[in-house]
C-alpha cells in the first residue's frame, strides 16, 4: 500500500507490481509483473512524486529499459 510523505508517494517493491530484474551501483532495473516491460529506476530518496522503496532506499523512474540494451 502506497503512503504519502509530504509530496512523495512511496510504495514498497512487493506492493508495486514490479520485480527486481537487475542492479547497478545507484540504479535498478524493474520488470513489470503484468506486461513484462522493464524500466530503469534511479536511487533518489528525496524524490517528490511516486517512489518505490527497495530496502532502505527510494527509487524514482528514469526511463524504459528495452531488451536491446542487454546486447
> How does DSSP classify residue 68?
G
**pLDDT band, residue 32 (cuts 50/70/90):** very high
Q: Which residues contact 3 (CB under 8 A, 6 or more apart)?
A: 9, 10, 11
Distance, CA of 71 to CA of 51 (rounded, Å): 29
**pLDDT band, residue 68 (cuts 50/70/90):** low
pTM for the predicted model, two decimal places: 0.86
Quick one: average pLDDT of 51-64?
A: 95
Residue 9 near residue 51, CB atoms below 8 Å: yes
C-alpha cell at 56: 532502505
Amino acid at each position: 500500500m502506497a503512503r504519502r510523505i509530504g509530496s512523495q508517494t512511496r510504495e514498497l517493491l512487493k506492493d508495486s507490481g514490479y520485480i527486481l530484474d537487475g542492479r547497478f551501483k545507484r540504479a535498478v532495473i524493474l520488470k513489470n509483473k503484468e506486461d513484462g516491460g522493464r524500466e530503469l529506476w534511479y536511487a533518489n530518496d528525496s524524490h517528490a512524486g511516486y517512489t518505490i522503496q527497495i530496502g532502505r532506499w527510494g527509487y524514482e523512474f528514469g526511463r524504459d529499459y528495452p531488451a536491446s540494451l542487454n546486447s
